[in-house]
Amino acid sequence: MTVTYSSKVANATFFGFHRLLLRWKGSIYKLLYREFVVFALLYSMLSLVYRWALADPQKRLFEKLSLYCDKYAEQIPVTFVLGFYVTLVVNHWWNKFMNMPWPDRLMVLISSRVHGQDEQGRLLRRTLMRYVNLISLLVFRSISTAVCKRFPTIDHVVEAGFMTPEERKVFENLNSPHFKSWIPAVWFTNLASKAREEGRIQDNVDLQAIVSELNRYRTGCTTLFLYDWVGIPLVYTQVVTLAVYTFFSACIIGRQFLDPTQEYPGHEVDLYVPIFTLLQFFFYSGWLKVAEQLINPFGEDDDDFESNWCIDRNLQVSMMAVDDMHMNLPPMTKDIYWN
Amino acid sequence: MTVTYSSKVANATFFGFHRLLLRWKGSIYKLLYREFVVFALLYSMLSLVYRWALADPQKRLFEKLSLYCDKYAEQIPVTFVLGFYVTLVVNHWWNKFMNMPWPDRLMVLISSRVHGQDEQGRLLRRTLMRYVNLISLLVFRSISTAVCKRFPTIDHVVEAGFMTPEERKVFENLNSPHFKSWIPAVWFTNLASKAREEGRIQDNVDLQAIVSELNRYRTGCTTLFLYDWVGIPLVYTQVVTLAVYTFFSACIIGRQFLDPTQEYPGHEVDLYVPIFTLLQFFFYSGWLKVAEQLINPFGEDDDDFESNWCIDRNLQVSMMAVDDMHMNLPPMTKDIYWN
Amino acid sequence: MTVTYSSKVANATFFGFHRLLLRWKGSIYKLLYREFVVFALLYSMLSLVYRWALADPQKRLFEKLSLYCDKYAEQIPVTFVLGFYVTLVVNHWWNKFMNMPWPDRLMVLISSRVHGQDEQGRLLRRTLMRYVNLISLLVFRSISTAVCKRFPTIDHVVEAGFMTPEERKVFENLNSPHFKSWIPAVWFTNLASKAREEGRIQDNVDLQAIVSELNRYRTGCTTLFLYDWVGIPLVYTQVVTLAVYTFFSACIIGRQFLDPTQEYPGHEVDLYVPIFTLLQFFFYSGWLKVAEQLINPFGEDDDDFESNWCIDRNLQVSMMAVDDMHMNLPPMTKDIYWN
Amino acid sequence: MTVTYSSKVANATFFGFHRLLLRWKGSIYKLLYREFVVFALLYSMLSLVYRWALADPQKRLFEKLSLYCDKYAEQIPVTFVLGFYVTLVVNHWWNKFMNMPWPDRLMVLISSRVHGQDEQGRLLRRTLMRYVNLISLLVFRSISTAVCKRFPTIDHVVEAGFMTPEERKVFENLNSPHFKSWIPAVWFTNLASKAREEGRIQDNVDLQAIVSELNRYRTGCTTLFLYDWVGIPLVYTQVVTLAVYTFFSACIIGRQFLDPTQEYPGHEVDLYVPIFTLLQFFFYSGWLKVAEQLINPFGEDDDDFESNWCIDRNLQVSMMAVDDMHMNLPPMTKDIYWN
Amino acid sequence: MTVTYSSKVANATFFGFHRLLLRWKGSIYKLLYREFVVFALLYSMLSLVYRWALADPQKRLFEKLSLYCDKYAEQIPVTFVLGFYVTLVVNHWWNKFMNMPWPDRLMVLISSRVHGQDEQGRLLRRTLMRYVNLISLLVFRSISTAVCKRFPTIDHVVEAGFMTPEERKVFENLNSPHFKSWIPAVWFTNLASKAREEGRIQDNVDLQAIVSELNRYRTGCTTLFLYDWVGIPLVYTQVVTLAVYTFFSACIIGRQFLDPTQEYPGHEVDLYVPIFTLLQFFFYSGWLKVAEQLINPFGEDDDDFESNWCIDRNLQVSMMAVDDMHMNLPPMTKDIYWN
């Protein structure tokens, strides 16, 4: 479920964002606490070894190693690599969201321009909308782990009422090795074309408006599929992940508090808890987690898109719009500003 | 109310932007003065403790802690994180603004292409425009705290004349668990379709032009809704906020003026007032405040969009355009450049 | 007037950009020389005071202050803040330019598809184009100081022939508290609709093409208005301006040449003229001036858009296209590649 | 073949990205291992020479040279140059992917709106779709090395059934020195126009919808061609490559472990294996490899677009849609939510 | 001529980009060698003066000056300023390329939907396409130095067959002080309108499709013109150029090898050839040259767009498409996958 917090920050108030820091659901703490514990444990273990287990000459050697690690940890360009990478991931994620399929544009057209209040007319409008919903369901099944769990086979699609058993037979008989989400689109346009011949769609201007909306809808679905298929190159993700992991490996050694009596510059004080290193862990790992969470928003994270809800909403709303509400208007009365 | 200052900076003049620094309304000072006072107080208290309350060995310890904090404060990548984050927030904010609903495109079409100067024609055009305004009102109610305060219930919507009591009954009888802003859109297209059958809309080219504008309008409203629903991931906002807050916590300790007689490098002078740290507070907090103010522009900040004004303007203007101005043209006369 | 220099840099030649450094009009020198003089004066005065007016202990104190200022001046993130801010300003500025209204798309449609070579036909086409020009004039009056100076009242608009006195009466009688630039658009579509009924526009396909171009044109104008109304948040501009001004205040103290005999590191040489600080002044102030000049491109700067020229050009060209050139074609003859 | 990994990262889990680090196919290791070996060898050889082959005075000289190289290696702005450059390359790459030709929009139109279940009708629809596929094949041949290998001559195109021998004759007789991918588009529209005259396309609304989709399809193909033709300026690529190569040349000398007994600052410890330099090699070279892999995604890298698969899929799917599925609808039955 | 190298980098291979470093045409070396020679000469002369001409006290003074210059050279934010500026220039350059006029969309429409195989029909189609080509030619003449050289006067345009002498007379008699590239567009739509009246264009759906493509084409041309007219603000270009030139001026003094016996930190070794400074010259100047080359891509650089080729190709191809190929279809035969 998406984590919505915009109403909490409607006004810029006194320390306005601090309230956001205290949430658990979808928060950085929930995402990171396990990594944080591992990091803190490793750091502590090394710290204990340095303080208690090592002999003096070993300590001196470790101190040199620590200084060396610290020096190079600062040279790893984590900030930039992450900045550019996260910007890319966020753009992709947002484009995916903007291409989520909503049948609203199609349903207002079909509700008003596919005529006939008899059973045949109702059946026609409902079937058209069912095909529309079927297109997006087929695409969602291939990109969303959540939807895939709910509809693991075509049987489940038929059971849920998105496809009739007859359609299923035809669907499976069509012999193509490729992904078949385009089939209901062909059915849709052919059915619309048939409705045009029967006069249930008045003329070709209406028909083309409907077909062009269908194409727009299907292109949105295809775009989702393409974003899932290709995505951000693996190499880029690996480079960034390596950079962050290396940085923290270097930090575990390089950010140890060294014996202040040795008077290494920058090591005058021994605080035991490396507060700033832990905070840096939160910033950088948190930034990487932003990417990790957004790179596939069709999973089951707290902040992922609710594909299953979207599928249900679209079916319920579109059926109501083209069936119950077809030519079912409230009476027109004068509004209160009349004259 | 939006703070407009572009006319003040029409020309690039001598120290042109300095005038902007002296404004209060919508300014950084108004937004930040409370946080600034808190920060200054904390800094001063710590300063007083250091100078008067601590014994000499404690002072030496505090000085080491201060140097340590100062060193790491500089390593926190506030600038970059803020730069990338604010760029993202500003883009979202601007896209929201560009999707604010304006019925002007629809009203010129309805005014000119829905015929009939009789009462039925007027009623038809007014009802169509009312539905258009109703769509955006329903969406605004769910995203804008200001509009939500003004129209807390559907009663208020009916009272304000955006919905008739009959429509309300139908609206509430439609049984859907989902957000219902699409209902007036279905009414609109069905009513337009009815007008087409009665011949008040001449042919389907006109009708489709109207329906397609309606879809464009509704898509704008939906986009606003989607931006509010999903928004920038909470984790990103938390990472940035944590970075800024941590930086300033570190500054409160690390930017204290240490006793110059101890000859710490960079601490040769004691100015009492840490002028540059205070200015840094203004830059970074101000930058974060930019984000805080823009992340939800439908609140009641000085610089937020005036949703309520927009709702009123749209209703007033669109009613006038489709009713009073329908086929009410000034006489055509030759212009002054004729021949 | 816009400063066009692209023809000077058509080819990448030997030190190609250096020629651009020697221009005065629209140049950084013209924009900055006053600020530069002020900055140089302040620096010199402080330098004289330090060298001649201060006693030795005061000098030592000043030197410490100077070192302190210098250290923090480098910490102010001027480069980044400016980089992100100027990128934002440049994007807005370019979008404004891309939305400048050009009636060319409309005029080719009206010239060819609104029939009638009699006086009534000419009057019709001219009136339609006049309304189009009137829309943009009304918008320009509210956003451009240059246009506002030329047309301070509606009287001037009528005198210049953009509006007839009859239209003015109707315009002012329409009772709306809101900005009225939409009124000529309603007139336009109603007049086009009337022309359709009289058969001067052949069918609704033509009519809808014209109306849809009108909507496109009006949306461009509205976009200009919206960019002027909301613009870049004041807080952001203030943050950036503060950062730059603070940086230079710190520089005036921190970049003084200190007595080399005191052997402060980095102060081994006394050049009297702080050449690099002055150049930095040019970079950063110049970068800020870029923003200052572009944030409102409808003023009277050297590099601002020529709104008044644009208004005149549009009227002249569009009148010629729909009147003199209507169905006035050069004879068709075979071109030189025929067979 | 594209490397798809989005399903592996559907949920942000404990050290979620680490699994990606262990892949070989399409990974940074596969891309970089050869360069890495070369780099490591050169470093080791120099290290051995320094440790064993040089006399003491030569060692001192080498140490000075090494320190000098190290100092300047840090000044080379690899991070920024790479950040900006890779962002540009990724944008181009993604635009190419988004312009990959899919005939789905066209095929639903042709399947439903080009009538006739007789042989002539089938032939007409199949020929139209064949022309569509031919356009993209011709473009792919010129931009993709993989497709060029499969279809080195027009003979291969004819053999694969994308062109009939008759068409080939006409195609080759058309005398134009320029790239001929536009020819099938002209054939397509002329054939559609003929179908309109024969009544197989009902009216011009349908025809224009088809032609406009064809133009959209062809513009996508042309865009691919243009991206291949111009691409990112060679100079930019050279600047970035030079920066990276120089950086690593400097590192080979500058990052040698110098004799700790000489007490150069930062050289207190001799680890033999320059672990951080090797990791930096992975980051920066990996980042450059991202660019190298994406700059021409129509080659045969692991992560390149599968042009040949795309050509086959488009032909198979589009033929099935316009032939077998034309007016071949599953029977309409009531869905399970009926009433 | 554009430098195309994408086929050289189709696959990411062993040191893949190094081959690009060895090209001369369109390369950084060709663009920069003159500046490089000047820079190297100035550096050498100063070096010689310092080593041989100066007396010892002067040497000490020069060394202090050199250290001072070196310190400040590093503070000049060349990297960022260049990064942001070049990104802007590259975006503009690419948008220009994407708006290059191609008449292909128009020619398929005119070839198929403007009927008549008689001479009058041929003349009509050829004249329409000629107007289309004339629009872009007029625009290219004003923005491209290469095209301007080829067509310095309207005489040349007439001679090259883009305009007939009759058209020229009409063109020059139209009395307008403004740029006249819109005139052929008005001719085009009026001629198309006449063809519609004569029945050579079947109905208004076809006509509007043609007119709307014409408007799209013309808008592309206008966009090119606007990009040339306004472009990137001069001030921005000056700021960037100043930054780079200043940086290198500072380097000439600050990067001299100082006498190692004076033991200035970082000056332990005297290499005579400042290899890294020369490489930095290549990076930064190269980056600036990228901008210089792209800021006006209509010149005669190696990497500029081939406007003259584009004009010729468009004329040749479009004439062939609307004349020879009009209704001249290859015979339809069954493809090899039939059944």
Q: What is the pLDDT of residue D208?
A: 96
Asked if E206 has any chain C CB less than 8 Å from its own CB, the reply is: no
Written as six digits, the tokens of C160 are 């210049």
DSSP letters spanning D265-302: TT-S---SS-HHHHHHHHHHHHHHHHHHHHS-TTSSST
Taking the C-alpha atoms of residue D311 and residue D304, their distance in angstroms, rounded to an integer, is 15
Cβ atoms of residues E208 and C209 within 8 Å: yes
Instruction: Answer whether residue A3 shows pLDDT above 70.
Output: no
Residue from A89, A115, A63 nearest A263 by CA? A63
Query: Tell me, what's the ipTM?
Result: 0.92
Asked if A123 has any chain D CB less than 8 Å from its own CB, the reply is: yes
Chain E nearest-CA residue for D181: E104
Residue D114, phi then psi, degrees to nearest 5: -105, 105
User: Confidence class of residue A106 from pLDDT cuts 50, 70 and 90?
Assistant: very high
Q: What is the pLDDT of residue B3?
A: 65
Q: How much is the average pLDDT of E194-218?
A: 95
Q: How much is the average pLDDT of B231-236?
A: 86
Chain B nearest-CA residue for A80: B80
Task: State whether D303 and A234 contact (CB < 8 Å).
Answer: yes
Instruction: Answer whether residue C234 shows pLDDT above 60.
Output: yes
User: Confidence class of residue D20 from pLDDT cuts 50, 70 and 90?
Assistant: confident
Give E177→chain D minimum CA distance, Å: 36
- How many CB atoms neighbour CB E95 within 10 A? 14
Written as six digits, the tokens of E158 are 């007439």
Averaged pLDDT score across all residues of chain D: 89
Burial of A94-104, coded b for 16+ CB within 10 Å and e otherwise, reads bebbebbbbbb
Instruction: Answer whether residue B229 shows pLDDT above 80.
Output: yes
Chain E residues within 8 A of C107 when measuring between CB atoms: 182, 186
Task: State whether B98 and C226 contact (CB < 8 Å).
Answer: yes
**Nearest CB partner across the interface for D332, out of A123, A186, A239:** A123
Between residues A75 and A198, which one has the greater pLDDT? A198
Chain B residues within 8 A of C292 when measuring between CB atoms: 9, 12, 16-17
Q: How many CB pairs under 8 A join A and B?
A: 244
Taking the C-alpha atoms of residue E128 and residue E130, their distance in angstroms, rounded to an integer, is 5
Q: What is the pLDDT of residue C43?
A: 94
Contacting B residues, span 34-93, partner chain C, CB-CB under 8 Å? 74, 79-80, 83, 86-87, 90
Taking the C-alpha atoms of residue A246 and residue A250, their distance in angstroms, rounded to an integer, is 6
User: Confidence class of residue C1 from pLDDT cuts 50, 70 and 90?
Assistant: very low
Asked if A242 has any chain B CB less than 8 Å from its own CB, the reply is: no
Taking the C-alpha atoms of residue C188 and residue C103, their distance in angstroms, rounded to an integer, is 14
pLDDT tens-digit series, residues A268-319: 888 888 888 888 888 888 888 888 888 888 877 777 788 999 999 999 999 9
Dihedral (CA of D23, D26, D30, D31) sign: negative
Choose the weakest-confidence range: A176-185, B211-220, B233-242, D305-314: B233-242
Q: How much is the average pLDDT of D31-60?
A: 91
pTM above 0.80, yes or no: yes
The β-bridge partners of E201 are E114
Chain E residues within 8 A of D203 when measuring between CB atoms: 205
Q: What is the pLDDT of residue D299?
A: 79
Instruction: Answer whether residue B1 shows pLDDT above 50.
Output: no
Task: State whether D76 and E280 contact (CB < 8 Å).
Answer: yes
Percent of chain C with pLDDT over 90: 53
Query: Which of D75, D207, D238, D301 to substitute to test the interface with E, most E CBs within 10 Å?
Result: D238
Give C112→chain E minimum CA distance, Å: 5
Longest dimension (CA), chain D: 97
Asked if E233 has any chain D CB less than 8 Å from its own CB, the reply is: no
Chain C residues within 8 A of B296 when measuring between CB atoms: none
Q: How much is the average pLDDT of E315-320?
A: 94
pLDDT tens-digit series, residues D117-164: 999 999 999 999 999 999 999 999 999 988 999 999 999 999 999 999
Q: What is the pLDDT of residue D1?
A: 47
User: Confidence class of residue B322 from pLDDT cuts 50, 70 and 90?
Assistant: very high
**Nearest CB partner across the interface for D28, out of A189, A235, A289:** A235
Contacting A residues, span 315-334, partner chain B, CB-CB under 8 Å? 316-317, 320-321, 324-334
Written as six digits, the tokens of C106 are 């409309």
List of chains touching E (3+ CB pairs within 8 A)? C, D
Chain B residues within 8 A of A96 when measuring between CB atoms: none
Task: State whether C242 and B28 contact (CB < 8 Å).
Answer: yes
Give B125→chain C minimum CA distance, Å: 14
Q: What is the pLDDT of residue D70?
A: 87
CA angle B276, B277, B283 (to 5 degrees): 90
Residue E145, exposed/middle/buried by CB under 10 A (0-12, 13-18, 19+)? middle
Q: How much is the average pLDDT of E274-302?
A: 85
Query: Which of B88, B143, B238, B317 to substitute to test the interface with A, most A CBs within 10 Å?
Result: B238
Instruction: Answer whether residue A1 shows pLDDT above 70.
Output: no
Residues in chain E: 339
User: Confidence class of residue B14 from pLDDT cuts 50, 70 and 90?
Assistant: low
- What is the dihedral angle through the alpha carbons of A193, E196, C211, C154, rounded to the nearest 10 degrees? 180
User: Confidence class of residue C12 from pLDDT cuts 50, 70 and 90?
Assistant: low
Q: What is the pLDDT of residue D13?
A: 64
Q: How many CB pairs under 8 A join A and D?
A: 244
Q: What is the pLDDT of residue E15?
A: 65
pLDDT tens-digit series, residues E40-86: 999 999 999 999 999 999 999 899 899 888 888 877 778 888 888 99
Contacting E residues, span 142-201, partner chain C, CB-CB under 8 Å? 143-145, 161, 164, 166-167, 169-171, 174-178, 182-183, 185-194
Query: Which of B186, B188, B214 to substitute to test the interface with A, most A CBs within 10 Å?
Result: B186
Asked if E235 has any chain C CB less than 8 Å from its own CB, the reply is: yes
Residues in chain B: 339
Give E273→chain C minimum CA distance, Å: 23
Task: State whether A97 and B298 contact (CB < 8 Å).
Answer: no
**Nearest CB partner across the interface for C243, out of B31, B283, B326:** B283
User: Confidence class of residue C183 from pLDDT cuts 50, 70 and 90?
Assistant: very high
Instruction: Answer whether residue E272 shows pLDDT above 90.
Output: no
pLDDT tens-digit series, residues D202-259: 999 999 999 999 999 999 999 999 998 888 888 888 888 888 888 888 899 998 998 8
Choose the weakest-confidence range: D173-177, E142-146, E266-270: E266-270
Grouping H, G, I as helix, E, B as strand and the rest as coil, residue E201 is: strand
Task: State whether E34 and C18 contact (CB < 8 Å).
Answer: no
Amino acid at B16: G
Written as six digits, the tokens of E231 are 């472009």
The β-bridge partners of B201 are B114
User: Confidence class of residue A134 from pLDDT cuts 50, 70 and 90?
Assistant: very high
Instruction: Answer whether residue B74 shows pLDDT above 70.
Output: yes
Q: What is the pLDDT of residue D139?
A: 95
Query: Which of C102, C125, C268, C277 to substitute to test the interface with E, most E CBs within 10 Å?
Result: C268
Instruction: Answer whether residue A93 shows pLDDT above 80.
Output: yes
Task: State whether D301 and E338 contact (CB < 8 Å).
Answer: no
**Nearest CB partner across the interface for B7, out of C145, C208, C319:** C145
Chain C nearest-CA residue for E37: C14
Most confident residue range from A208-222, C225-239, C279-293, D260-274: A208-222
Rounded to the nearest 10 degrees, the angle between the axes of helix E204-229 and helix E78-98 is: 150
pLDDT tens-digit series, residues B103-118: 999 999 999 999 999 9
List of chains touching A (3+ CB pairs within 8 A)? B, D
Give C241→chain E minimum CA distance, Å: 17
Chain D nearest-CA residue for E203: D204
The β-bridge partners of A114 are A201
Taking the C-alpha atoms of residue E86 and residue A300, their distance in angstroms, rounded to an integer, is 41
Chain C residues within 8 A of B110 when measuring between CB atoms: none
